[in-house]
Structure 1
Amino acid sequence: MPPPNNVAPKVRVRGMILTIGIAAITIVGTMVGAGLKTDIETKEKQKIVSEPAGEDDLIAALEARRLGLVQARATWEKKAENLRERIESNAKRNIGGESGSGSITSGK
């Protein structure tokens, strides 16, 4: 008994879908692997470049890092002071606005 006529196109479509899926997985895997390798190589190069050669270079690098940290600390302290000032001004504004309203509580 011969197979029905509609079986061959289904098998052909299924084969094409599987082939396309495998090709897509292979391409994506290759791209991700290449990206990871590039990232690792970049990090290694940065590590080699950032390592100081001698004591003088180490001291200079540490002083530069300290300067950057001091500047960052000053920025954060300024932001904290501005926040404190805003909180105080909001508190003063709220205290002045609530003086006439008061809270009403029942004795029950």
Structure 2
Amino acid sequence: MPLPTSTPKVRVRGMILTIGITAITVVGTMAGAGLKSDIETKNTQKMVAEPTSENELIAALESRRLGLVQARATWEKKAQILRERMESSSQRHIGGGSASSSASFGK
């Protein structure tokens, strides 16, 4: 009794599904390993960066505060420049806009 043979179309479909599932598994494994490695690296960096004594903690906090104060000063300077630009722009539009709009309506 001869064994039933499957059609080539079914074989190709099975091969495509097998290759797809294998590819998904490999990519998932690699992505998971990468995420685990990243998490371990971050944890190691946290442990190294933590100050061990109170004096080191205070010094680290003071340096962080100094950086934040400098960043705040920079942002405040940028905000002031932006306010000045907006004010000069609005004054220009108010003065120039009314003259040009009345001239266009009269023509």
TM-score category, normalised to shorter length: 0.7 to 0.9
Matched, 1:64 2:63: yes
How far, CA to CA, are the matches of 2:81 and 2:26 in structure 1?
52
Match of 2:74 in 1: 75
Question: Runs of 4 or more off by more than 6 Å in structure 1?
Answer: 2-5
What are the equivalent positions in structure 2 for 1:68-107 lying under 5 Å apart?
A: 68-100=67-99
% identical aligned pairs: 73
Match of 1:16 in 2: 15
Task: Give me the TM-score of the superposition, normalised by structure 2.
Answer: 0.81
Say which SS state the counterpart of residue 100 (structure 1) adopts: helix
Match of 1:106 in 2: none
How many angstroms does 1:95 deviate by?
2.5
How many angstroms does 1:43 deviate by?
1.3
Q: Which runs of 5+ in 2 are unaligned?
A: 103-107
Is the helix fraction higher in 1 or 2?
2
Aligned residues: CA RMSD: 2.2
The alpha-carbon distance between structure 1 residues 14 and 89, as it changes in their structure 2 partners (threshold 3 A), is same
**What letter is aligned with 1:35?**
G
Q: Which runs of 5+ in 1 are unaligned?
A: 104-108
Match of 1:33 in 2: 32
Say which SS state the counterpart of residue 53 (structure 1) adopts: coil
Say which SS state the counterpart of residue 28 (structure 2) adopts: helix
How far, CA to CA, are the matches of 1:57 and 1:74 in structure 2?
26
Query: Residue deviations 1:18-48, cap 9 Å, x none?
Result: 2201210111111111111011101101210
How far, CA to CA, are the matches of 1:101 and 1:15 in structure 2?
73
